[in-house]
Amino acid sequence: MPTQPPPLVLDTLMKQALANLLSQALSTLVADGTLTEDPRVTPQIDHTRDPSHGDLATNLAMVLAKQARLPPRELALKLLAALPDNALIERTDIAGPGFINVFLTQASNTQVVADILAAGNHYGHSTIGQGRSVQVEFVSANPTGPLHVGHGRGAAIGDGLCRLLAATGWSVHREFYYNDAGQQISNLALSVQARVMGKTPEDADWPEDGYRGEYIVDVATAYANKETVSSSDRQITASGDPQNLTNMTAFAVAWLRREQDADLEAFAVRFDEYFLESSLYNSHDVDSAVERLSANGFTYEQGGALWLRSSEFGDDKDRVMRKSDGGYTYFVPDVAYHLSKWQRGFKRVINEQGADHHSTITRVRAGLQGLKEGIPKGWPEYVLHQMVTVMRDGAEVKLSKRAGSYVTLRDLIDWVGRDATRFFLSARAATSQLTFDIDLAKSQSNENPVYYIQYAHARICSVKNKAAGLGEGWQPEGGLAHVDQLTEPEALSLALAIGRFPDVVEGAAERLEPHEIANYLREVAAQFHSFYNALKLIDEAQPSRSLARLALAEATRQVLHNGLTLLGVSAPESM
């Protein structure tokens, strides 16, 4: 198969062909006086959600009704009457206030099989982004402990966003932002120091806000043994000195960053850049941002603190920037950090974060507007995910032996595997709370969506192998000359479903909702299982029809593979 897709996939070609027919009909209506002038509009054409309503639909008559001074349904009738003869449309109808539903000919629908086989792994991809850059920041967990399930959901959704954006033509930069200084890191170092000195969380002099998980024992042991640790962005050798808090802090951060790297690698998530909050202070970027806001007249002193006039930018009240003790509040370095993003050339930025960051959005955007840097309102974009509840045996799982007080991402991967973990964490809208059912994720049943989808892929591979055993002529590509024999309802429904994939990818990328891919794949798997159960895919007595079904099955396998890849989930050939 070619390594590059054709310039336009068939799905797009069918839409364009219908758009051309409608444009010709408009020209006819202008010529006969129904329309007084050329409307100069590009007809908007979408797939219908319900196959009983046709394959494609347009609201063109509703859009132009006012200009034509006609009721939308009447204009729709005139548009349909003016359509030129063609081999694309089987029939049409008018629904509701004036929607035009179009039923395509059987040949139009089944030709999608050839398009999918030609495009291969690129089917569903597009150039909508036109190579423009977009930065996606996600996970961004401080190195104070193992990644928890909330970080895991952010990793699954964030990585899915990156894959969707890349598939639609964007140049994606993946960034991980974290704090390697501050109170949390100080508590980490004090916890490690206590362990090095032989103390336990049960001792009276254990640090008040110290970390209690067993991983602290591992860090302390490695530090005492003067080990060297390397993570993706740092390397440090322990001195072994329990009084050297500076070295101990750097070592603990590097050790936990290495653990995060291992967890993310096991989760098949990568980053292009790791950005340190401390670098913003070392370069005086935080001070500089505050000075610019003051120079622009958006700050004032009150009660010994420095306030941001955030209410002038839509916040419900002004916010403290610098406390009376001289320390900055937590959103101030975020303003400096996002200014850095803008100055690095990222005109589009998407932050995937937990819903607990909701309160900072207005403040960060207010600070960015106050800088008068030309940053658009509403920049950056945010995708906020809700909490995850882990269930097993009908009860909530709250504790992890390793982390002490929460379930870790590594726990989930160890319990159910990477594929199920990734799928379940990204299979619901980010705005919905998620219940992760361990028992369901481990089950080999139709109720387990990832198993159901992967089994469809493996089943097709099994059919292909069986067909290949019959001889050289039993290859799916051989069925392309016979797709006109795909006449059964199950075959046509499956062809329609896989033909929607480019639209689904485009819509999911536009709305920043990877879960739409998961929902779509479940639908395709269901359509395939119905097709498989209703029809005999390999019948040596009907080689042409069997080859056509094999071609449709292979096109379905390709769509399942491409969709699972967008979710970071494998497409097994056997199960």
- Mean pLDDT, range 244-270, rounded to an integer: 96
Nearest to residue 253, comparing CAs of 232, 283, 282? 232
What pLDDT, on the 0 to 100 scale, is given for residue 359?
A: 87
Band of pLDDT at residue 7, cut at 50, 70 and 90: very low
Question: Is pLDDT at 1 greater than 70 in this prediction?
Answer: no
Selected residue with higher pLDDT from 160 and 65: 160
Distance CA 385, CA 400 (A): 22
What is the number of alpha carbons within 13 Å of residue 162 lying toward its C-beta? 23
Across 34-48, 178-192, 331-345, the highest mean pLDDT is recorded for: 331-345
- Mean pLDDT, range 98-122, rounded to an integer: 87
Residues 253-273: b if buried by 16+ CB within 10 A, e if exposed: bbbbbbbbbebbeebebebee
Selected residue with higher pLDDT from 224 and 28: 224
Q: What's the one-letter identity of residue 408?
A: T
Q: Where are the alpha helices (DSSP H) in 36-92?
A: 60-68, 72-81
Question: Is pLDDT at 3 greater than 50 in this prediction?
Answer: no
CA dihedral 40, 46, 50, 52 (to 10 degrees): 50
Residues 6+ positions from 251 with CB-CB distance below 8 Å: 192, 219, 222, 223, 229, 236, 237, 238
- Mean pLDDT, range 110-118, rounded to an integer: 90
Is-cis flag, bond preceding 51, omega within 30?
no
Band of pLDDT at residue 400, cut at 50, 70 and 90: low
Give per-residue pLDDT as tens, 503-513: 899 999 999 99
Band of pLDDT at residue 463, cut at 50, 70 and 90: very high
| pTM (two decimals) | 0.84
| Contact in structure between 328 and 293 (CB atoms under 8 Å) | no
Give per-residue pLDDT as tens, 516-533: 999 999 999 999 999 999
If 0-12 CB within 10 Å is exposed, 13-18 middle and 19+ buried, where does residue 357 land? middle
β strands within 413-473, DSSP E? 434-437
Q: Which helix (H) or strand (E) holds 353?
A: strand 349-354
Give per-residue pLDDT as tens, 322-337: 999 999 998 999 999 9
Selected residue with higher pLDDT from 130 and 402: 130
Selected residue with higher pLDDT from 183 and 156: 156
Average pLDDT along the chain: 91
Band of pLDDT at residue 402, cut at 50, 70 and 90: low
Nearest to residue 493, comparing CAs of 522, 528, 459? 528
89-95 and 133-137 strand pairing: unpaired
Give per-residue pLDDT as tens, 365-386: 999 999 999 999 999 999 999 9
Question: Is pLDDT at 9 greater than 50 in this prediction?
Answer: no
Selected residue with higher pLDDT from 456 and 406: 456
Lowest mean pLDDT: which of 79-88, 145-154, 238-247, 286-295?
79-88
Question: Is pLDDT at 40 greater than 90 in this prediction?
Answer: no
